[in-house]
A = this chain, B = another copy of it.
Amino acid sequence: MKRTTIKDVAEAAGVGVATVSRVLSGGSASPQTRERVLAVAAQLDYRPSALGRNLRQRRTGGMGLLLPDLTDSFYGRLAEGVLACARSAGEPVVLGSTGDDPEQEAELVGMLLEQSVDRVIAVPVGDADTWDPAIRAGMTVVFADRLPPAAPSATSTSQSDLEALDGLRPARAAGRRLDLPAVLADDRSGVRTAVQYLRGLGHRRIAYLGGPGHARRVAAFREALEPHVDEDLIVFARGSRDSAYAAASGLFQSRPDLTAVLAGGNMLGEAAVLAARELDLRIPRDVSLIMYDDVPWAELCSPPLTVIAQPGQDIGYRAAELVLRAESRRPRSVLLPTELIVRGSCGPRR
């Protein structure tokens, strides 16, 4: 069974293919031909093939979406936001999961390049250097939730970290400036609020339990704690659940004197609760916990978890908007507000 092509429509309507194409893409045509073409197209149930169009225009429509892990419900929400925007624009979304691994990310970018998908929204893992080839190839990239870390060859990491903090000077690679648009949660404000809340409860030895891509949050954490930053209380896990658990458990064991933890993601929060339970640390009596990201189960946990809520779906939606409108407007970065939701996982310092 052959697919009906634009040629079939043209023949059936007694016009040339060019006319059909024009009518269907909103070009100019006389009212009567337009009507006839539309009628015939509808009757033949004609759907233009994206293949032909893509080849002609040398670009695939739609956008790529690169996420670290769909198991993490925050990224699930982000994805739903992107999909919602894409759907209303009628554009397809090709999805890739990087597992927070720069190599896989690079591979996926390569795949998108091969597919001529020239619009990407990504939660980046790799260096600014990693992303440079994509940009040079003409991709429109919008980062979400994070910025790519400065390239390792950068002269002053802390410098660019601090600059990145405001979210408007996104990414500087060694010398070369990327300056790509991004949609981020306001980590500076979020972390500051959380830390101030904990300090108000009397906590002094506050730990940060972080994951990949938490450079901005950690910088904000340091800033909020100035000048009493205890580097040993800043701990990192890799992307996986196991690694998160190991990091949390290790933290509690190596520093039994800590009284509060800020977990930089919901998997990390989960790990902290689990590790604390395993070590017979009571929340919030022995240790207070604030978790990044408000997930539905935070309320079901016992005690219910105090969280920093981020608008995951909005982040996705806005990012998709940016990447779609990039042709017309030059996109500017967006900073979305966070909110501290106080539940029951923080108490006064013992």
Chain A: number of interface residues, binned into ranges: 35 or more
Stretch at the interface among A143-151, A167-175, A221-229, A294-302: A294-302
Which of A52, A110, A267 has the most chain B CB atoms closer than 10 A to its own CB? A52
Q: Is the C-beta of A349 less than 8 angstroms from some C-beta in chain B?
A: no
A51 to B56, CA, bound (A): 9
- Evaluate whether A51 and B47 lie within 8 angstroms (CB atoms) in the complex, with A76-B71, A80-B97, A92-B94 already known: no
Q: Is the C-beta of A58 less than 8 angstroms from some C-beta in chain B?
A: yes
In the complex, residue of chain B having the shortest beta-carbon distance to the beta carbon of A270:
B296
Contact of A302 among B1, B95, B302 (CB under 8 A): B302
A93–B92 CB distance below 8 A: no
In the complex, residue of chain B having the shortest beta-carbon distance to the beta carbon of A138:
B1
In the complex, residue of chain B having the shortest beta-carbon distance to the beta carbon of A267:
B296
**Residues of chain B within 8 A of A58, CB atoms compared:** 3, 51
B70–A76 CB distance below 8 A: yes
Q: Is the C-beta of A104 less than 8 angstroms from some C-beta in chain B?
A: yes
B300–A50 CB distance below 8 A: no
Q: Is the C-beta of A60 less than 8 angstroms from some C-beta in chain B?
A: yes
A114–B297 CB distance below 8 A: no
Q: Which residues, 27 to 72 on A, are CB-close (under 8 Å) to B?
A: 47-52, 54-55, 58, 60, 62, 65, 69-72
User: In the complex this chain forms, how many copies of it are found?
Assistant: 2
**Residues of chain B within 8 A of A72, CB atoms compared:** 76
Minimal beta-carbon separation of A211 from chain B (angstroms): 15
A270–B300 CB distance below 8 A: yes
**Residues of chain B within 8 A of A71, CB atoms compared:** 73, 76-77, 80
A114–B49 CB distance below 8 A: yes
A83 to B58, CA, bound (A): 26
**Residues of chain B within 8 A of A302, CB atoms compared:** 300-302
In the complex, residue of chain B having the shortest beta-carbon distance to the beta carbon of A298:
B297
Given A50-B114, A79-B95, list of 6 further CB < 8 A pairs?
A: A51-B115, A70-B79, A71-B76, A87-B96, A92-B115, A270-B297
What residues make up the interface of A, taking CB atoms closer than 8 Å to B? 1, 3, 47-52, 54-55, 58, 60, 62, 65, 69-73, 75-77, 79-80, 83-84, 87, 90, 92-97, 104, 107-108, 110-116, 136, 138, 241, 267, 270, 273-274, 295-297, 299-302
Query: What are the nearest 7 A-B pairs in CB distance?
Result: A302-B302, A297-B297, A70-B76, A95-B95, A83-B97, A51-B55, A50-B115
A and B contact pairs by CB, cutoff 8 A, 14 listed: A49-B116, A70-B70, A70-B79, A70-B80, A71-B73, A71-B77, A80-B97, A83-B96, A84-B97, A92-B96, A270-B300, A273-B300, A297-B300, A297-B301
